[in-house]
Each structure stands twice: as C-alpha cells, then as structure tokens.
Amino acid sequence: MSMLAVVGLLILLSILWLRFGTSIPKGYQFRKCQGAQWRRAFPQATKEDIREFLLLFVAAFAFRDSEKLKFSPDDRIWEIYRDLYPNRWVADALEIETLTDDLKAKHGIALGEIWTEKLTLGELFARLQNARI
C-alpha cells in the first residue's frame, strides 16, 4: 500500500471518527440534555456558570465540548472515570490529575482535599460556587 493511500485512509478514518465517534462512555452517549437537572439543582447559578464548569470537566476528560450537557449533577466523577477504564491495568490519560490541576489553576480549589470516590459533579460545582462567594 502506498504512503498516499495510507495517509488518505487515516484522514478518512479521522473524519468518520469526528463525525460519528464519541469518547464519552456508552451510558452517557444517548442521554438527553441534562441542563434542566443542573438548573433545578442550582437555580442561583447562571447557565454560563454551569456550562463553564462542564467545559472544564469535559476538557479534563478530553470529551467533546458538545457533550458537556450529557452529564448530570448526580454523576459521580469516579464512576465516569471507571466507565472509561474498567480494567485497572489499562493506562489512563491522567483525566483526574488534569481536572485537579485545572481546578487549582482556575478556581484555587484543591480537589485532593475534597475527593472521595462518591464525589459528584454537582457537589464539585457547589464547592466552586461557594468559593466564589
């Protein structure tokens, strides 16, 4: 196979992945928008605050920005991570560490101080909202 054919195949596969592929775990892929759940859980927060937080989260996990509202306030961060990496022997992409660094840099929040395997996105968002006050 020529180099040009290989490059063309890689480009085609990349386009197909970008168009049809998704990186979020299957349990979240077909969810409807969870924006109403966020607004109910945090009526005092603006839509922009919620979206900014979810963008921080999806960026740390290398999910698409457009998938941010597939996650609800009740979703546990550790469960999302375990859904991505069900086998503990598979190397991860340092999602939790990236989230930790981003929270510290952007909000001054030390995730390690509040971390439990039961920590939900909503609980983390509430911490960020309280830190702003």
Residue 20: pLDDT band by 50, 70, 90 thresholds? very low
Q: Percentage of the chain surpassing pLDDT 90? A: 74
CATH of domain 24-132: 1.10.1200
pLDDT, mean of residues 21-36 = 87
Question: Global pTM?
Answer: 0.81
DSSP string, the chain: --HHHHHHHHHHHHHHHHHH---S-HHHHTPPP-HHHHHHH-TTS-HHHHHHHHHHHHHHTT--GGGGGGS-TT-BHHHHHHHH--STTS----HHHHHHHHHHHHH---HHHH--TT-BHHHHHHHHHHHH-
- Taking only the tens place, the pLDDT of each residue in 44-91 is 999 999 999 999 999 999 999 999 999 999 999 999 999 999 988 888
